[in-house]
Amino acid sequence: MPFRFVHMADLHLDTPFAGRPEHRELLRRLQREAFQAAVELALQEGVHALIISGDLADGENLSYATTLMLHESFTRLLKAGIAVIYAHGNHDAAQAMTRLTLPRGVTVFSSMDPACVTVYDRNGLAVGQVVGVGFEKSYEPEFPLMRFPARGVLPTVGVAHTQLVEQAGTGTGYAPVSGRALLMLGYDYWALGHIHQHGMIDPRIAYPGVLSGRDFSETGEKGVLLVEVEARANPRVAFYPLSQAGFWDEAFPDAAQYAALPQLADALEAFAAARLPARLPQAAMLRLTIRGACGCAGELTGAMGAENAAALEGELARRLGLTEVRLRLIDLSMPLDIAEYAREKHILAEALAMLEEARTDDAALENILLEIQDVRLAGCDSLRAGALRDYARGLLDGLPQLVARRMIKEDRL
């Protein structure tokens, strides 16, 4: 019989969201509803266990409503014969969560000394073995790999909140470990937490990702994993999206051609509509980035800039049926045709000619670099012939526009 369980992590319940008060409360409510949907999934599927791989809470200050919900939900699972297994993470480290009381019967991994629990089916037959560790404090610099026991006869699952060194290197403070090292233990599945994007590092190593999106760095569908494990066989893993909070982060490619805000609004609406799903979640948040040349730069950065941007955000949210639209405006400036200035006879034309020569003439650029003694350019470590030239040329991208804007008064643009 396979060992079946729901794997979830990084719930971050009661996150203190930014933004409008009504949006903060909506996102917190949707976090709780996503958790309750995961509990319902476990009950409907009749799994043997619910495994939470850290960061159940965003911090020690859980609301009373959330603690009641957790207690009720865990009690329902235990009464249905479903084991509840919870490992502390860096945000909900054991030393900080002293006020969180869980029902009797919940297995908690609260130490970096590995502990082991056997999971049984409703007939009392052992179906799996779970070995796990948990964060005692928010900073855990080492992973206790050598203290993990050898796998047993039963399907064996490891549980940890950890940063794989293949992803971020050592010294992260989040109990870093090599995925290859985990696989050498021979466990049938590693239920990991800490990375907020769902990913299968190997058929036997998985991050479910954050349960419910919290900001524009957490785009895409969010949910849990339904896992079936048999001894010495690749597990069967299915992702179940459960969150009703969705974030989209898009960069608008060319705002230079829109000289009035109504035109820009129409273009942004069409651009966003093509990238949003037909069915939106309860909380649908969109961030649009406009960078550089923009025909409406004066209206979005001048004396009425903040007010105009806010009105444009509200109009787009209304048209698209979104909870919120945010505009991220970066280095906005009026469009500039530098070719016009390059033809004139003044210092700007000379500067633009030098930049063009450096951009197109290898020999000219290399002569310039030769004049610089003991060249050190951050980010260029290669000794390959031409590498310094290629890197320097990359640094020149966009420089003609910047030079022109610095040398031309704004009222001429």
Domain ranges of the chain: 3-243, 246-333, 338-412
CATH topology of domain 3-243: Purple Acid Phosphatase; chain A, domain 2 (3.60.21)
What is the per-residue pLDDT across 317-343, written as a single tens digit (0 to 9) for each?
Answer: 999 999 999 999 998 988 866 665 556
C-alpha span between 135 and 133 (Å, rounded): 7
Residue with tokens 């590995």: 114
Helix axes 347-360, 362-370, angle to 10 degrees: 100
Structure tokens at 283: 């909380």
Residue 240: pLDDT over 70: yes
**pLDDT value at residue 338:** 61
**pLDDT value at residue 413:** 45
* CA neighbor of 192 nearest in space, from 41, 8, 5: 8
Structure tokens at 236: 């069967």
What is the per-residue pLDDT across 169-189, written as a single tens digit (0 to 9) for each?
Answer: 656 789 999 999 999 999 999
What is the per-residue pLDDT across 50-106, written as a single tens digit (0 to 9) for each?
Answer: 999 999 999 998 999 999 999 999 999 999 999 999 999 999 999 999 889 999 999
pLDDT band at 34 (very low <50, low <70, confident <90, very high): very high
Provide the percentage of residues in the chain whose pLDDT is more than 70.
83
- Is residue 281 within 8 A of residue 243, CB to CB? The reply is yes
Q: How many CB atoms lie within 10 A of CB 370?
A: 9
- Give the chain's end-to-end CA distance (angstroms, integer): 73
- Is residue 116 within 8 A of residue 154, CB to CB? The reply is no
Residue 390: pLDDT over 80: no
What is the per-residue pLDDT across 115-165, written as a single tens digit (0 to 9) for each?
Answer: 999 999 999 999 999 999 999 999 999 999 999 999 989 999 999 999 998
- Average pLDDT estimate for 4-25: 94
Q: Could you tell me what percentage of the chain is helix, strand and coil, using 3-state DSSP and rounding each to the nearest 5?
A: 35, 25, 40
pTM of the model: 0.82
Alpha-carbon distances, residue 118 vs 72, 124, 385, 387 (angstroms):
23, 11, 60, 57
Residue 376: pLDDT over 60: no
Q: How far is CA 353 from the centre of its chain?
A: 43
* CA neighbor of 333 nearest in space, from 356, 299, 358: 299
Of 181-185, 359-363, 381-385, minimum mean pLDDT range: 381-385
DSSP state of 408: S
For the chain, state the CA radius of gyration: 27
C-alpha span between 400 and 402 (Å, rounded): 5
